[in-house]
């Protein structure tokens, strides 16, 4: 269980930084694009400071790169949904939630051992 908790916590932090880097500038439409790009790069540096250790720790604990990627995508959606609502003031509709359910289903599938469902 701990093999998932530390990488997941680091991924939450990294995705929070990355969400701000990618979407935080949308509130600053009048800021020059080159400034927004430089600020986003600066924020993204901190994202990497958490993302890289999350992947390293997770992989050393036995989580595959594919599992880490799927976990990261699910965490990204949760972080983005919170960000979109609280920071951008966007309302998520039923189809967003339906899409989230399908993606979380993919997360569950990737963590089922292949041998338990007839795979190799």
pLDDT tens digit sequence for 1-27: 566 799 999 999 999 999 999 999 999
Task: Look up the domain containing 88 and give its range.
Answer: 2-117
Dist. CA 42–CA 20, nearest whole Å: 11
Q: How far is CA 91 from CA 37, 84, 96, in A?
A: 26, 8, 10
Quote the pTM value. 0.81
pLDDT beyond 90 at 116: no
pLDDT tens digit sequence for 48-88: 999 999 999 999 999 889 889 988 988 998 999 999 999 99
Neighbours of 8 (CB within 10 A): 17
pLDDT of residue 112: 80
pLDDT band at 120 (very low <50, low <70, confident <90, very high): low
pLDDT of residue 117: 56
pLDDT of residue 110: 81
Dist. CA 48–CA 54, nearest whole Å: 9
Kind plus residue range of the DSSP H or E element containing 1: none
Q: Are 107 and 72 in contact (CB under 8 A)?
A: no
pLDDT of residue 4: 78
In the chain, the number of structural domains is: 1
């Amino acid at each position: 269980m701990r093999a998932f908790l530390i990488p997941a916590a680091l991924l939450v932090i990294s995705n929070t930084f990355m969400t701000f880097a990618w979407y935080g500038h949308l509130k600053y439409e009048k800021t020059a694009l080159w400034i927004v790009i430089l600020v986003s790069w600066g924020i993204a540096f901190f994202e990497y400071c958490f993302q890289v250790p999350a992947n390293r720790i997770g992989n050393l604990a036995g989580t595959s790169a594919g599992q880490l990627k799927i976990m990261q995508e699910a965490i990204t959606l949760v972080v983005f949904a919170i960000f979109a609502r609280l920071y951008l003031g966007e309302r998520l509709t039923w189809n967003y939630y339906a899409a989230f359910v399908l993606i979380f289903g993919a997360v569950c599938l990737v963590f089922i051992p292949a041998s338990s469902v007839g795979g190799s």
